[in-house]
Structure 1
Amino acid sequence: MSYNQPTAAQPLSESDGRLWATLTHLSALVGIVIGVGTIGWLGPLIIFLVFKDRSPFVRQHAATTLNFQITMAIAAIVAIVLWIVLVGFLLTAAIYIITIVFSILAAVAANRGEPYTYPLSIRFIR
């Protein structure tokens, strides 16, 4: 008998799926706060890579969160460029407020077991 045989990942229960989908959104929020807006994508990426094959619900929420974080990163880069013309600080503030509000709404939806699609988000990951 060989102990080195790979085993298929076990599917997540519905409650575990809701928990990890919620944590996907909250990890983005924590990454934004701790990383000053630079690592909001890291938590959702890790959850996506670990659980994408174990739960379609978690995969959908993680992909949605990653798409939103990438979109907001692009918007933040544009805002930084616009700081030169003294308008970027308003855009930067708006981006952080939008990101925080939509991340909280998404976490609540995930906790309820509902799908959520971020508005203003470009779909990079499907």
Structure 2
Amino acid sequence: MSLPHATAPARDPDFIPEAERTPALVIHLSPLLGLVLPALGNVLGPLAAWLAFRDRAPVLDRQGKEALNFQLSVWLYSFLVGLLFFALFSLGLLGGAVGAAAGSGSLGAFAFFGSLAAFFAFFIPATIVLWAFPLVVMLLAVLRVNQGRAYRYPLSIRFVR
């Protein structure tokens, strides 16, 4: 007797056959390369896995694109958060320097501590979210693929169609 999800109509594009589940799992786990190659491994892993498995089955092509698009989106979000933090921190330091040059030490200190507050109130929580969220959805993708169903990542920009 087989499990209910072991067989599905051939026309169901979200069904992942048993033979394709291991490559699909490799695709969804490939962002862990980011632990070895920080900043690029989480994108290079899905790219390499997608290129290796995309010709094997249409479902692997779609799942590879999903994983790659999500990791590219996370990379873009991280870059934008870093850019925003850099701008806020720089404005605070610039404001502190201008305030100190104008002869107001308290204004300079206020701007400097505002920059530190931006670091602790904005950058650290955003960094934690940008680290934990991809890990959680990657694990959800692995669980769903293991059940034989395709996974579509949330908050993903479709760079590769």
Return 5+ residue gaps in structure 2 as ranges. 1-15, 89-118
Equivalence for 2:21? 18
Identity %: 30
1:111, 1:56 → 2: CA distance? 17
Q: Is the 8 A contact 1:82 1:88 kept in 2?
A: no
Once the two structures are superposed, residues 37-71 of structure 1 have per-residue CA deviations (whole angstroms, 9 ceiling, x without a partner) of 43111121112112211111211111000000000
TM-score normalised to structure 2 length: 0.64
* 1:101 to partner: Cα distance: 0.2
| Structure 2 counterpart SS, 1:113 | coil
- In proportion to residue count, which structure has more helix? 2
- The Cα RMSD (Å) is 1.7
Alignment correspondent of 1:98: 133
Aligned to 1:54: 56
Partners of 1:112 and 1:37 in 2: how far apart? 31
How many residues of Structure 1 are paired with residues of Structure 2 in the alignment? 113
1:34 corresponds to which residue?
Answer: 36
Amino acid at match of 2:49: I
The SS at the match of 2:66 is: helix
SS in 1 for 2:41: coil
Moved over 6 A (4+): none
Asked if structure 2 preserves the Cα contact closer than 8 Å seen for 1:71 and 1:121, the reply is yes
Q: Which amino acid aligns with 1:15?
A: E
Structure 2 residue identity aligned to 1:25: H
CA displacement at 1:83 relative to structure 2: 2.8
Contact 2:33–2:41 (8 Å) recurs in 1: yes
Larger radius of gyration: 2
Any gaps of 5 or more consecutive residues in structure 1?
1-12
